[in-house]
Structure 1
Amino acid sequence: MTVTTEDFAARRAAATDDALGWRPRLRLALRFALREMRGGLSGFYIFLGCLTLGVGAIAAVNSVAGMMSDGIAKEGKAILGGDLRFALVQRQATPDEAKFMNGLGEVSDTQTLRSMVRLSDGSDQSLAEVKAVDGKYPLYGRILTTPDKPLSELLGKTATGYGAIAAQGLYDRLGIEPGDTVKLGNLTLTMTGVIDREPDLLAEGIAFAPRLMISEAALAGSGLIQPGSLIEYAYKVKLPPGTDPDKAAAPANDHFPASGFRVRTAKNASPSLQNNIERFSQFLTLVGLTALIVGGVGVANAVGAYLDSKRAVIATFKSVGASGRFVVAVYLIQITALAGLGILLGLVLGIIAPFLTARFLESIIPIAADVSVYPLALLTAAVFGLLTALAFALIPLGRSRDVPATALFRDAGSGSSARMRWSYFGAAIGLALLIAGLAVAMASDRKVALIFLGGTAAAFVILRLVAMGIIWLARRAPTVRSTPLRLAIGNIHRPGALTSSVVLSLGLGLTLLVTLAIIDYDLRREIGTGLANRAPDFFFVDIQNGQIDPFRQKVDELAPGSKLDAVPMLRGRITRLNDEDVATMKIPAEGGWVLRGDRGLTYAATLPENSRLTAGKWWPRDYSGEPLVSFAAEEGRELGLKIGDTLTVNVLGRNITAKIANFREIEWENLGINFVMVFSPNSFAGAPHAWLATLSIDDDSEAAEKKVVNGITNAFPAVTTVRVKEALDTVNALIAQLALAVRVAAAVALVSSVLVLAGALAAGNRGRMHDAVVLKTLGATRVTLIQAFATEYMLLGLATGVFAVAAGAAASWFVIDGIMTLPWVFDWTIALTTLIVSLVLTVGFGLAGTWRILGQKAAPVLRNL
């Protein structure tokens, strides 16, 4: 072996290693590490690529989420419509309540409801989100319209009634233009403009129909306001400068304990959107972390290959007495420096992500994106990147520490089989646990994070077992006559085989891709076809008590033989559980949605037909004792409720306390009439309410559905008709937007897997070079070797693809059936595509890497054996 100047320097350094203190030793290690890095980044491009992708994904997701959260916080007043927002359902504020709110500051009130807007001749109609505003609207922000005129002019009185403005979607649905007239309830409206931007749109929640904006006087004259009508009254307050919104709102429930106010401040302008941003960013962060962990395998491969190429230098260090600690320090410094470069590149991706996505997000969510740099998001990504790089680098570093110099001088040997000190293995495990702990601590839903990380860890273990199983089968495979096949099988189980690296690197990425693809497929199929087939065709809301019998007769006339289900409905909010104020409770992640906002309530003398009791007994038909309630079994279990517990609901400004008499299992998936809470009939004696109805018709043609909608809308202008197909289309569009981000995240994981695969195959080329040279010396032709290598890669790719399909199917089944409780259907197209992708990647990258070594001359290789 040729001894270089660097070797002599290493000898001198090693000779003084033990004589130096730790600080001089560290400086010496740093000097040698930097000197050796002058050779460039050869062998570390995949290392850098894996870290860049993983860190970039985490930084980008959290930066974009930070941008959206900052946008909501910055425009909180405009989004909320004021500094404070008091909301009531089905009733207006009393004079005393109105006086209290007016005493806080300037007040603007709006009323929102869903109703049918129809053409003047009654030939067509559309569901609309109707919003009636007063002369002070909006207190904050600015509504943008075409033409740009004051609301008082656009919504004022006209020759035929009142003016109205609407989102472009309503014009498109009805085929009308500004200047045309439409009917709303008993009122004729002249369309005077288009709403381009509504400042407080997000405060209203998810919209299932286009916005129609009118004046309060117009709504009062429409005939839509009836006892029990589902109308939300919102009172927005503009406080004097310097007033603390929380302190101003605090006395509201004390002064009016039975009011049922839902109070929000500008700090919590759109809680549902903020929660969704947090949940979705958490999910994408976990996917990005998975990509980073997959990349960690590439880090381990790259570090192992790099140390393998430095065996001569390590051997020189150890031959002249350098300690293993000194060797590890030299290469740990190098790896940390390179990891820092990869992290820096990933952070650059995270910095530019908000700038690239801002305009796209503004088109989906009406928030002015104030793009900036988000240090916390970048720091989070950097910490995950550094910990992952160190966790996976310690394993090959630990193996190199105690390998004797005699083994390193044999060029054909390998340090990969050397035993590693438990301290290094323990440190790697400790870093992995730290990564998992940080991910769980940062998660809004820790249970989901634990399941996700647990699944990733289990996948690593299972993939290792799969690789061992493939090796075991290959070792016990019968001898075959085909030389290429015999060589391929031998390569799979020989020492130093690529089996474990290929299965581990590609298996996790493909498994994640299959899981997400099947979930996406099942959600789209269920919402687009499954739910549409099982769900009723129509929902009818705001059927008045005196209209229910004429309504049934009209339905029989329009759709003979159809199935109509109707139940009374009120809206109420749970305010107390077992005398504990819900506002001060720690609301659990699961089931907590029941306690947030208003819920639909009903009463019944008998058990609803689509429910079954799981605990307790149903009350008698003529029950007249204390109010009783039947609660949904799953949600009750998640909230920790039991038979005999009490809950208080606020309905129409009255607090009603009822005892839980039983629990029922509900079939939510059929989209029928289902309620979390069903009360005994005496609970709401004398309370004004409307009816909710569903209709399933035998003839689901467009003409038959249009006949029903036109007939009901013209006969009962105040009844709101919701076509289930249109609502499902809205949900499908939302899922399509979310699926795009999920696919991008899955693609990042797959690209990381591909990089790791390429690195694993490249790391194995050194051994392949020896194999090829020896086999060619013994008479093997290039064609035979190509066939052998191609067969080996094909077998590994097929085995990995089969595992990914099986594991992805199991994971998607757990999510769809176990968590979402939806029907799980396996798509064989996804399985076939996965197998093809796996084969193409393994065979393609494998042959691309081995093609070069097939032409290697024998003499230089044989000389070092």
Structure 2
Amino acid sequence: MAWRDAKASRVRLVLFMASIVLGIAAVVSIQLFRDNLQDNIQQQSKSLMGADYLIDIDETPNERAQAIIDSLNPVATEVNFVSMIAFPKNGGTKLVRVRGLEGAFPIYGKMKTQPELASSTYQDDQGALVDATLMLQYNIEPGDSIKVGELTLPIIGSLNSLPGSSAVMSSVAPPVVIPFGLVPDTELLQFGSRKEYQYYYKADATTDLIQLEKVLEPMLDAEKADLDTHTSTSRRLGRRYENMGKFLNLVAFIALLLGCVGIASSVHIYIREKLKHIAVLKCLGASRRQSFLIYLIQIAGIGIIGGCIGGLIGIGIQESFPYILQEFLPFEVSISITAQPVIMGIVLGFLMAVLFALLSLLNTWYVSPLQALRISDTSNSNKPKVARFAVFGAIVLFLFLFSYWLLEHIPYAIAFVIGMLITFAILAGVATLIMKLIKLWFPKSLGYTTRQSLLNLYRPNNQTLVLIVAIGLGTFLISTLYFTKDILLAKTEVGSGAQSANIIMLDVQPEQGEAISNTIAGNDLEVIDNIPLVTMRIHSVKGMEANEVQQDTTIRMRRWVFNHEFRTTYRDSLIASEEILEGEWVSEVSAGEVVPISISDNVAEDAQVTIGDKIVFNVQGVLMETVVGSIRMVDWGQLQLNFSVVFPKGVLEKAPQFNVLTTNAPNEASSARLQQAVVKDFPNVTIIDLRQVYTIVEDILSKVTWIINFMAFFSILTGIIVLIGSVRTSKYQRIKESVLLRTLGAQNKQILKISALEYLLLGLVGSLVGIVLALISAMLLALFVFNEPFVPSVIPFVVFLPIISLLVLGIGLSNISGVLNSSPLEVLRREV
């Protein structure tokens, strides 16, 4: 009977099947990709680093640090720094990352070059390996020369890939590899130059890297060095994609919830239309159990089939993810289909179908044989409260377990489930309140069609509660998805204006400042900023030095604040990316006065300091006592120079320093001319063309946006199906009423107006409440889950609200189209 009835009702079951397929497809594709990404990070962490572990330090190692480094027998040594290079062949210039290497690097992975032997001969040949894309861009071939600072050397080969370089970083500053011994000849590592020394090691089979990290980390911290193992790299890489993973999990959760609502709505329609059939079956001798099982088997079977189809679609979707994400993953992702998400998809399809259909299926248990003869609708039979509560409890448990499976975080899972229950309760409360308000203040003076529409909202067998909850919930989930998308993408938005700097020149020595300013002016450009930079370290905080903090385990001060080399500046005003949170900004002090500094909120938190606390800095060997005068919130996401520590004027003017100059080049040609002129005369100066950064970030952003929108498509499509199914729920009751009105002489125009106003009101109220709740939900997600600022978009209000309202209106009117185009008797016969 289940099979025969399903074949006869296959058209009606399309919505039910579609809700399951779309929800499962999103869940399976996201889970498969997440599993593949995690597996690849674990498998390739050694190749990404090029070694089992490394020691890095951002200054020339002191005697003690060098002794630790040498005692572990490094296999390879590297110094790397960012600099401008030039190609004498055509005068081209480019910002690159110079990597001076010696020894057998990489230990794991492979340095791919053309010709292939260049990776093993460049050190003996005293030549350079240059990024292959860079060589193509500048029409350079092996055998040509490259100028790195004051050193000109031959290009041995092109570099296709190198451990430790991601596609994004290679696009901003492509790698150039030279022998370690030639680095001093470049004369680029001067005072204030940013550089990093790295020492690569191979561990033997008995080495416990976790234990090694525990032993060496404190010793290296004391010498301002760090230890990185391939296992810590694996963990760090996973965190880099944490927010993307959170968002994709949120999409999966929303897609599944929409699928569940769609199932509940579709089954509600289906079972309601089958109640007369069930009553007839009972008249013919069918038991309660038989009539219940006929539709339970039918729905469970469709759930399993829908789960299988959704799983196959999900596999197909996730196959495309690596190609879309390859530009901002630091390695190639190899795809393998694991069984767990596929099996979970099938199980989810079954559970979704059965659990969210049970409330409607309970109606079949209590159908009386007399209902085959009764005219009135008795579908809302008195079901025992125990059964209803048991079903609700099972649904809540299912949602909790599913959200915990996705998030692997019990508080988040509980919060999501409670949030959904609160949303459901608010929507139900709003629907009930509207019915009571309309009944209490019914506008009796309005026309007949308007009064009839409002009466439909609270008269017996009304659909107000069901439709507002379903429309509101669908709109809430879709809008939450949209708001959350904005949270993630807002941090990546970039742009440049005519008054903002898009060329930044770093490492300008004091004696070079005037000459470089003249070079900028000679290219018809203006110097926008001339920012002094003074390097220093923290000597003590509130009277405590680094060794005291390390020995006292009760102090929560982060150790990095003592190891970090701060690049500070001095000025008399705040900039656009800064906002004072505590204290007062001091613009200038006189000699002999207490020096009030301004620090960023993250430094204040990690150093455990507040207004008035003393901090002593070591400025190139001179100790300087300061007090915290203000704490700033800094927007580090803006593409401009921001500082953790800012001094007032009148303090650091005579300290050893270098400068950063900025200007704005209106086009590519003027930028190229300026770069060539500066690199030619001042090879130590690093030039960053922010237009290149904008292009790269925007390219990545477009890919991320595509993924987000692509996955959101499933949720939105499922939401539309939910709305269609929910509004069609009212078809049965509305057809009988419309036929009765026509029999009494109502015109088609009047019936259309009655239905149109009712559905328009329901659509407006449901979608408006859903969007407002989504706004609150997105704010909480931004604050507690994504840790990002939230600026609400108006799109859901100006696009989703009218579109969903009109969609509800259109579906509602389509429900009565058959009534208007046929005679009342024909319609009644057809419906029966």
Sort the TM-score into its range (normalised by shorter chain).
0.7 to 0.9
Contact 2:81 2:194 survives alignment (8 Å): yes
Partner residue, 1:746: 712
Give a deviation string over 1:53-77, Cα, whole Å, max 9, x none. Answer: 2222122112111112211211221
Q: Distance in 1 between matches of 2:416 and 2:752?
A: 40
Give a deviation string over 1:583-608, Cα, whole Å, max 9, x none. Answer: 99999xxx99x979996623467776
Partner residue, 1:719: 685
Q: Give the TM-score, by structure 1 length.
A: 0.77
Q: Aligned in 2, Cα 1:624/1:813: closer, same or farther, shift over 3 Å?
A: same
Q: Distance in 2 between matches of 1:622 and 1:529?
A: 41
2:107 alignment partner, SS class: coil
Worse overlay, 142-151 or 779-788? 779-788
Partner residue, 1:133: 101
2:336 alignment partner, SS class: coil
The structure 2 residue matched to 1:538, chosen from 485, 500, 503, is 503
Contact 1:709 1:721 survives alignment (8 Å): yes
Contact 1:395 1:425 survives alignment (8 Å): no
Q: Distance in 2 between matches of 1:582 and 1:752?
A: 58
The residue identity in structure 2 corresponding to 1:602 is R
Q: Aligned in 2, Cα 1:431/1:649: closer, same or farther, shift over 3 Å?
A: farther
Task: Give 1:551 shift.
Answer: 5.3
Contact 2:23 2:310 survives alignment (8 Å): yes
Task: Give 1:234 shift.
Answer: 2.0
Aligned length: 818
Partner residue, 2:31: 62
The residue identity in structure 2 corresponding to 1:737 is K
The residue identity in structure 1 corresponding to 2:715 is A
Contact 1:488 1:792 survives alignment (8 Å): yes
Give a deviation string over 1:643-670, Cα, whole Å, max 9, x none. Answer: 6889999999x9x999984551234265
Contact 1:618 1:662 survives alignment (8 Å): yes
Map 1:209-608 to 2 at 5 A.
209-312=173-276, 315=279, 335-362=299-326, 364-378=328-342, 388-389=352-353, 392-397=356-361, 410-416=374-380, 421=385, 424-425=388-389, 427-429=391-393, 431-432=395-396, 435-436=399-400, 439=403, 443=407, 459-464=423-428, 467=431, 476=442, 491=456, 494-514=459-479, 532=497, 536-544=501-509, 547=512, 559-560=525-526, 562-569=528-535, 601-603=566-568
Partner residue, 1:632: 600
Contact 1:288 1:748 survives alignment (8 Å): no
Q: Distance in 1 between matches of 2:220 and 2:321?
A: 45
Give a deviation string over 1:292-338, Cα, whole Å, max 9, x none. Answer: 11222222222323332342466579899999899777765654454
The residue identity in structure 2 corresponding to 1:293 is L
The residue identity in structure 2 corresponding to 1:56 is A
Partner residue, 2:17: 48
Partner residue, 1:82: 51
Q: Distance in 2 between matches of 1:237 and 1:803?
A: 60
Q: Aligned in 2, Cα 1:639/1:132: closer, same or farther, shift over 3 Å?
A: same
Q: Distance in 2 between matches of 1:585 and 1:537?
A: 46
Structure 1 unaligned regions, length at least 5: 1-5, 7-32
Task: Give 1:455 shift.
Answer: 5.9
1:732 alignment partner, SS class: helix
The residue identity in structure 2 corresponding to 1:75 is Q
Give a deviation string over 1:461-505, Cα, whole Å, max 9, x none. Answer: 45445555666687645666585x776555555544455555444
Give a deviation string over 1:193-239, Cα, whole Å, max 9, x none. Answer: 44333343249978633333333244332222223321122222122
1:739 alignment partner, SS class: helix
Q: Distance in 2 between matches of 1:337 and 1:303?
A: 14
The residue identity in structure 1 corresponding to 2:37 is M
Residue 758 (1) aligns with residue 727 (2) = no
Contact 1:76 1:267 survives alignment (8 Å): yes
Task: Give 1:78 shift.
Answer: 0.8
Contact 2:615 2:627 survives alignment (8 Å): yes
Contact 2:23 2:252 survives alignment (8 Å): yes
Task: Give 1:750 shift.
Answer: 0.8
Q: Distance in 2 between matches of 1:482 and 1:510?
A: 31
Contact 1:202 1:270 survives alignment (8 Å): no
Contact 2:64 2:223 survives alignment (8 Å): no
Contact 2:399 2:417 survives alignment (8 Å): no
Q: Aligned in 2, Cα 1:275/1:170: closer, same or farther, shift over 3 Å?
A: farther
Q: Aligned in 2, Cα 1:826/1:780: closer, same or farther, shift over 3 Å?
A: same
Q: Aligned in 2, Cα 1:724/1:336: closer, same or farther, shift over 3 Å?
A: same
2:160 alignment partner, SS class: strand
Cα RMSD between the aligned structures? 5.3
Partner residue, 1:665: 632
Q: Aligned in 2, Cα 1:605/1:120: closer, same or farther, shift over 3 Å?
A: closer
Contact 1:532 1:728 survives alignment (8 Å): no
Q: Distance in 2 between matches of 1:240 and 1:419?
A: 69
Partner residue, 1:732: 698
Residue 609 (1) aligns with residue 609 (2) = no
The residue identity in structure 2 corresponding to 1:88 is I
Q: Aligned in 2, Cα 1:76/1:287: closer, same or farther, shift over 3 Å?
A: same
Give a deviation string over 1:248-295, Cα, whole Å, max 9, x none. Answer: 444323544422333222223354431133331221111221121122
Contact 1:253 1:259 survives alignment (8 Å): no
Q: Aligned in 2, Cα 1:860/1:349: closer, same or farther, shift over 3 Å?
A: closer
The residue identity in structure 2 corresponding to 1:372 is S
The structure 2 residue matched to 1:695, chosen from 637, 641, 662, is 662
Residue 165 (1) aligns with residue 130 (2) = yes
The residue identity in structure 2 corresponding to 1:267 is T
Task: Give 1:50 shift.
Answer: 1.5
Give a deviation string over 1:554-580, Cα, whole Å, max 9, x none. Answer: 667764563322222469999999967
1:221 alignment partner, SS class: helix
Contact 1:86 1:264 survives alignment (8 Å): yes
Q: Distance in 2 between matches of 1:38 and 1:107?
A: 70
Q: Distance in 1 between matches of 2:592 and 2:791?
A: 42
Q: Distance in 2 between matches of 1:269 and 1:226?
A: 30
Contact 1:115 1:129 survives alignment (8 Å): yes
Q: Aligned in 2, Cα 1:486/1:254: closer, same or farther, shift over 3 Å?
A: closer
The residue identity in structure 1 corresponding to 2:633 is I
Task: Give 1:548 shift.
Answer: 5.4
2:192 alignment partner, SS class: coil
The residue identity in structure 2 corresponding to 1:292 is L
2:261 alignment partner, SS class: helix
Task: Give 1:89 shift.
Answer: 1.5
The residue identity in structure 1 corresponding to 2:641 is I
Q: Distance in 2 between matches of 1:635 and 1:441?
A: 36
Q: Aligned in 2, Cα 1:740/1:45: closer, same or farther, shift over 3 Å?
A: same
Q: Distance in 1 between matches of 2:769 and 2:150?
A: 63
Structure 2 unaligned regions, length at least 5: none
1:134 alignment partner, SS class: strand
Percent identical: 22
Contact 1:71 1:369 survives alignment (8 Å): yes
Q: Aligned in 2, Cα 1:529/1:36: closer, same or farther, shift over 3 Å?
A: closer
2:191 alignment partner, SS class: coil
Task: Give 1:79 shift.
Answer: 0.9
Partner residue, 1:145: 113
The residue identity in structure 2 corresponding to 1:212 is V
